[in-house]
Structure 1
């Protein structure tokens, strides 16, 4: 990666080169994940889209190749809701090392009823948090083989107003879809910060960074047909919101910077610069409730028990 990025102001339109690097973006076939993958592809890196839908992944890779000449992009099948499949998915990456993973994929349900993964976990918590927790375990050998790998966890501004119920992580007692989604993203953010504490404890060269996209709307997102098509009507409806929020292409910026910028440090939180809702990516204070290490430690233990994988002995 270019050393000039630590001297020049960060420019979202002029990213440093990352030739020879390999990046994995979970959920890279749609939404914010697509734009993370597209922007990273423009750096010369090899970008792998992790997607549970091979057909959608192929459409996304074709879109990226049409917009980024010479893009080194490909896809692997990755279903975070199926914990037993993750080891095979990682093996299918077929790489010697991984320079960064962006934990972006997620499920968001708007209406009841409560649904579960095949492993019996509430679908959003099981996919968004537990799936990435287990995936990190299987990726560790590849990440530790890179000189200074980044693990970037995509949280959500929706998590800022939520609090975890450690006695009901699976939302069995009082299921409300939007709250369950916010809590699943909050759990991801706790995990990203706790992971970095584990990495620091063993003097690892890896770093774990937490990011969020602020407010990112489809109506403010540029078209990438057929991955995403913004109609003229949607553009007009969304125009007033542009004063406060942004499109998903801009929502990708904090994650892209967390992958590429050598000045980014483990344990940091990054988001948009204007009220944490829109604008260029910046380092921001960790939200007060995310700084509670006792909650993070209990969640870590729960993740280990629920997934059956032990991230406790991360490699140095």
Structure 2
């Protein structure tokens, strides 16, 4: 039954003893997701390939959340062979949630590739998280009702996947390729839920997107994030339609913590999907295409050389 107490983004439930991993937790929405989760008493692991940026983020979180238990996990999603070692380096006996947040967004050509020969955005944003889930499976299965939260994007609404050109080798356009990589992530989250439910797994897969999140509307967290007064003032009219990255983290945080959240749902800002407190949205249109999602799943397994079950049963 739904809770009679409205979800309050500023009064989060306690999560003492729980362990959460946030990929890309050193900056942007990932940083604020980590900061908010740290305030619940949980142990929060920041997955980041840049140790210096991770240290700065942890220092900032500790300054805003006294006593926060935050740690750095070296993680490079663009390097598929390294992901098993990263999962092994967690050095924990269980994992209550992973937030697949990290992402690469390129604005201009040329097309770039990962070490594995995958297009950089598709390879990092989708394939990296897809493969990481496989290696995290034993830890997720050890925790009761653990959660895999996949952070998509509002940009994915206007995109369609080309299963014959997942690597964008033809007519590469950075913004379109980015949107498709986020769409692939969302298909992954929904298909993962279908497979978990079919296997009667205790693990939940939830998809979220942050809406429109601007740096200029984001609270400063120097040196992790800075903004000038003029930048903030110029952005204020946009606050009617979008919000900052602190608020952009709310859907992911709710997906991790709210006991009423169920698998297979999409959580997003409640005002036109662009700003405001998080709520569940219908999964419809091309997002709800199980045939395409299954085909992407199988293609992804081939690309990362993974067991189709992802060992989450």
Pairwise same-fold verdict (TM > 0.5): yes
The answer (yes or no) to whether the contact 1:125–1:181 under 8 Å persists in 2 is yes
Question: How many angstroms does 1:313 deviate by?
Answer: 5.4
Of the three residues 255, 261, 268, the one matched with 1:258 is 255
User: Could you list the per-position Cα deviations for residues 32-66 of structure 1 after superposition, in whole angstroms to 9, with x for gaps in the alignment?
Assistant: 00000000000000000000101100000000001
CA distance in 1, matches of 2:263, 2:146: 10
CA distance in 1, matches of 2:122, 2:33: 23
Give 3-state SS (helix, strand or coil) of 2:206's partner: strand
Moved >4 Å (runs of 4+) = none
Change in Cα spacing, 1:277 to 1:151, as seen in structure 2 (3 Å) is: same
The answer (yes or no) to whether the contact 1:82–1:131 under 8 Å persists in 2 is yes
The answer (yes or no) to whether the contact 1:153–1:192 under 8 Å persists in 2 is yes
Of the three residues 20, 25, 30, the one matched with 1:23 is 20
Give 3-state SS (helix, strand or coil) of 2:46's partner: strand
1:249 is matched with 246
The answer (yes or no) to whether the contact 1:199–1:314 under 8 Å persists in 2 is no
Over aligned residue pairs, what C-alpha RMSD do you find? 1.1
User: Could you list the per-position Cα deviations for residues 57-99 of structure 1 after superposition, in whole angstroms to 9, with x for gaps in the alignment?
Assistant: 0000000001001101011100000000000001111000000
The answer (yes or no) to whether the contact 1:217–1:247 under 8 Å persists in 2 is yes
The answer (yes or no) to whether the contact 1:217–1:245 under 8 Å persists in 2 is yes
Question: How many angstroms does 1:287 deviate by?
Answer: 3.5
The answer (yes or no) to whether the contact 2:298–2:308 under 8 Å persists in 1 is no
The answer (yes or no) to whether the contact 1:81–1:131 under 8 Å persists in 2 is yes
Aligned length: 313
TM-score (norm 2): 0.99
Structure 1 residues not aligned, in runs of 5+ = none
TM-score (norm 1): 0.98
CA distance in 2, matches of 1:171, 1:282: 33
Change in Cα spacing, 1:193 to 1:231, as seen in structure 2 (3 Å) is: same
Structure 2 residues not aligned, in runs of 5+ = none
Of the three residues 36, 39, 47, the one matched with 1:39 is 36
1:163 is matched with 160
